[in-house]
């Protein structure tokens, strides 16, 4: 049964579009930016679909998502620094 994997993130900057499709290290992802409002704030989401939650494919997707999040943080810096 297919399994949706999601990693939430919070960042201080906004990209031009709210939805981005991309492939990183052979894994296809969808990155969704949720628009902040004055009353609510949801985290952004990086999602992908794998065949089984306990498989090599799922482990590869999770590792790749972590690498992508680390690279994003490296390029943009910590949110606390950008919000000053």
Quick one: pLDDT at residue 84?
Answer: 47
Backbone φ and ψ of 37, nearest 5°: -125, 175
Residue 59 confidence (pLDDT): 94
Residues in the chain with pLDDT values less than 70: 12, 35-41, 78-84
Query: What is the SS3 assignment for 12?
Result: coil
- The pLDDT value recorded for residue 36 is 65
Cα–Cα distance for residue pair 73/18, rounded to 1 Å: 18
pLDDT digits 0-9 by tens, 3-20:
999 988 777 677 788 899
> For residue 28, what are the CA distances in angstroms to 8, 17, 37, 38, 78?
16, 18, 29, 32, 26
């Amino acid at each position: 049964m297919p399994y949706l994997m999601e990693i939430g993130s919070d960042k201080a900057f906004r990209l031009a579009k709210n939805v981005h499709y991309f492939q990183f290290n052979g894994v296809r992802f969808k990155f969704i930016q949720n628009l902040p409002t004055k009353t609510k704030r949801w985290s952004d989401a990086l999602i992908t679909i794998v065949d089984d939650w306990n498989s090599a494919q799922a482990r590869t997707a999770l590792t790749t998502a972590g690498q992508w999040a680390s690279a994003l943080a490296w390029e943009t810096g910590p949110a606390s620094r950008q919000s000053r």
